[in-house]
Amino acid sequence: MDLRDGQTQPILDPNQPTHVYHLALDIGGSLAKLVYFTKDDNHLVDGEEGVSHRKTLQKCKDSKQHPVLNGRLSFKTFETSKINDCLEFIKSMKLHIGGSQSQENPGSQPIAIKATGGGAYKYADLFKERLGIILDKEDEMDCLVAGANFLLEVVHQEAFTYMGDQKQFVQIDKNDLYPYLLVNIGSGVGMIKVEGEGKFERVSGTSIGGGTFWGLGKLLTKCKSFDELLELSYRGNNRQVDMLVGDIYGGMDYSKIGLSSTTIASSFGKAISDNREREDYKPEDIARSLLRMISNNIGQISYLNALRFGLKRIFFGGFFIRKHPFTMDTLSVAVNFWSKGEAKAMFLRHEGFLGAVGSFMSSDKHGLKELLAKDAVQKSPSKLSFAVDKILRSLSDGECNGDESIECSVYAA
């Protein structure tokens, strides 16, 4: 990819399908994720952060690096079942033609957009029909790993631990990143041992994942949206539904094998002993119990796979997590408990966008990736934590989200 000063479009080869580098997609079983880069010069002049950013630019200029694109890397999600909304969004933003103000040229070569996930196959005809674009398919696992590696290596404060209400950012040393276990909790769960750039193996997985939580939760609580279900789980008490060790041992611990009275002996186990119908249980307690059951299970399987390959770090991604404190805490406690503190659970700020970022990076394996990986410059951490707050707040609005953007610049050395 050849990006020169002041140009927002790549140089195009008339003999090839036109590639637009600004947009990439990951269309999964539940959600369609978009990552797109838009040019934005304004931040160079307004506000303090703008000034410091300008200083950074100056420094880069002094070191003979040239800013090529200044703008935002934006992240957006749509429910896959509402793929038409996604198409409309792309159309209204003109993302499929590189944000260009000019009209699409009907006589020109079809534009190709990088896309991964099953939907890249399922909806290929629809994208062609409605937007006149070809979905240039990339392998899902390749993208997932490439996205995780990129975010962990490049994005400031991407990884963090979360346990007992304590969130702590982890400074990742690029030279000490591998090996690690990547656990992607989407509709289903994939577990991948990552040993380096492009060096990975899918070692396990489980079908009991985010789709199970949302699907079962919908049936059991009559929630209308995922966010409603998540919101319910905040308020619930799983002890009303789960059978605890104390329920079996008359309120006592089973201390001989280290199980406290509050340990869950059987998820949903209380429902069998009571003469109660589903309606007699509070939906929030059911939601809480379900979330705990699924998160615990994933945490335990993750730990077993980490143990299998001697991996000490487990990074959890996928949109199931949604930065929900309870989910992250449950996963962390499970990993910590089973590994006796040997393995560590970590989370990613752009948890749901690993595949989409990987797809974006694949636009030009030898150009954009190199440029971004070496020289992406971000704004101050305060701005980034604002983005995280935004995601949490959006839960109460009932919006499907995870939408945010990072300001960044791309430099050519």
C-alpha to C-alpha distance for 84 and 88, rounded to whole angstroms: 6
Which of residues 42 and 84 has its CB atom nearest to ligand ADP in the complex? Answer: 84
Determine contact, residues 348/314, Cβ cutoff 8 Å: no
Token pair listed for 307 = 């143990």
Of 1, 8, 9, 79, the one binding ligand ADP (CB under 6 A) is 79
- Containing 50, the helix (H) or strand (E) segment is helix 47-62
Of 281, 316, 319, 347, the one binding ligand ADP (CB under 6 A) is 319
Which of residues 68 and 391 has its CB atom nearest to ligand ADP in the complex? Answer: 391
Residue 53 lies near ligand ADP (rule: CB under 6 A): no
Residue 117 lies near ligand ADP (rule: CB under 6 A): yes
Q: Measuring CA to CA, which residue among 362, 398, 341 is closest to residue 137? A: 362
Token pair listed for 317 = 């991604």
Token pair listed for 10 = 């790549």
Residue 320 sits at the vertex; the CA angle it makes with 73 and 121, to the nearest 5 degrees, is 70
Token pair listed for 64 = 């003979």
What minimum distance in Å lies between the beta carbon of 212 and ligand ADP? 8
256-291: buried (b, 16+ CB within 10 Å) or exposed (e) per residue?
eeebebeebbbbbbbbeeeeeeeeebbbbbbbbbbb
Which of residues 67 and 358 has its CB atom nearest to ligand ADP in the complex? Answer: 358
Query: Phi, psi (5° rounding) for residue 72?
Result: -125, 140
Token pair listed for 339 = 């590994």
Which of residues 297 and 378 has its CB atom nearest to ligand ADP in the complex? Answer: 297
Which of residues 75 and 319 has its CB atom nearest to ligand ADP in the complex? Answer: 319
Which 335-364 residues touch ligand ADP, going by CB under 6 A? 352
User: Of 210-218, 259-267, 275-283, 296-304, which segment contacts ligand ADP by CB under 6 A?
Assistant: 210-218
User: Of 8-16, 211-219, 251-259, 323-331, which segment contacts ligand ADP by CB under 6 A?
Assistant: 211-219
Determine contact, residues 412/374, Cβ cutoff 8 Å: no
Residue 322 lies near ligand ADP (rule: CB under 6 A): yes
Binding mask 2-31 for ligand ADP (x = CB under 6 A): --------------------------xxxx
Q: How far is CA 187 from CA 29, 280, 348, 395, in A?
A: 6, 29, 18, 19
What minimum distance in Å lies between the beta carbon of 210 and ligand ADP? 3
Residue 316 lies near ligand ADP (rule: CB under 6 A): no
Residue 332 lies near ligand ADP (rule: CB under 6 A): no
Size of the site for ligand ADP (CB under 6 A): 20
Which stretches of the chain bind ligand ADP, using CB under 6 A?
28-31, 79, 117, 186-187, 210-211, 213-214, 226-227, 318-320, 322, 352, 400
